[in-house]
């Protein structure tokens, strides 16, 4: 009888911590490695400015989605630093805050791509005159 009690106590001491640790663990629904986060697909341009110009020039958008800006005569349109403000977590190519070349096309239209957080893209057009 003493042997049975001792065996039971040893088994209880060894098994109980394992049972408690398993029952107190996170449930699969609260496990952060199983939680998926939806990334934003928003890739909207909010503003475009040429702030190094004096005075700074802001582009405007027309009904077809084209952006337009008129810069002072003599402005170097081949190296015009362009600042684009986009939706949260979106980026532009070429990068915002870098010099863009608006002389590639004779009409001054340059394309740029906005990439949303989820990797989806849209092409925008801006004409600088």
The reply to whether the predicted model has a pTM over 0.85 is no
The pLDDT tens digits for 45-67 are: 999 999 999 999 999 999 888 99
> Which uninterrupted H or E stretch holds 61?
strand 60-61
In a domain? residue 28: no
Split at pLDDT 50, 70, 90, the class of 83 is: very high
Q: Look up the domain containing 92 and give its range.
A: 45-128
Where does the pLDDT of residue 73 fall: very low under 50, low under 70, confident under 90, or very high at 90 and above?
very high
Tell me the average pLDDT across 71-85. 95
- 38 in a structural domain: no
Cβ-based neighbours of 40, under 8 Å, separated by 6 or more: 87, 88, 89, 90, 116, 117, 118
How many degrees, rounded to 5, is the angle at CA 74 between CA 71 and CA 77? 60
Name the token pair of 82: 């362009």
112: domain CATH number?
Answer: 2.60.40.2340
Q: Is 23 helix (H, G, I), strand (E, B) or coil?
A: helix
Per the omega criterion (within 30 degrees of 0), is the bond before 94 cis?
yes
């Amino acid at each position: 009888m003493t042997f049975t009690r001792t065996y039971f106590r040893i088994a209880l001491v060894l098994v109980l911590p394992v049972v408690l640790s398993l029952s107190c663990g996170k449930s699969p629904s609260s496990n952060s490695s199983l939680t998926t986060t939806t990334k934003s697909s928003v890739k909207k341009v909010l503003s475009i400015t040429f702030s190094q110009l004096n005075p700074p020039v802001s582009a405007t958008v027309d009904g077809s989605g084209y952006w337009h800006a008129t810069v002072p005569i003599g402005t170097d349109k081949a190296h015009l630093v362009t600042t684009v403000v986009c939706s949260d977590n979106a980026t532009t190519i070429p990068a915002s805050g870098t010099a863009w070349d608006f002389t590639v096309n004779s009409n001054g239209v340059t394309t740029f791509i906005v990439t949303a957080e989820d990797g989806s893209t849209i092409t925008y057009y801006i004409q600088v005159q």
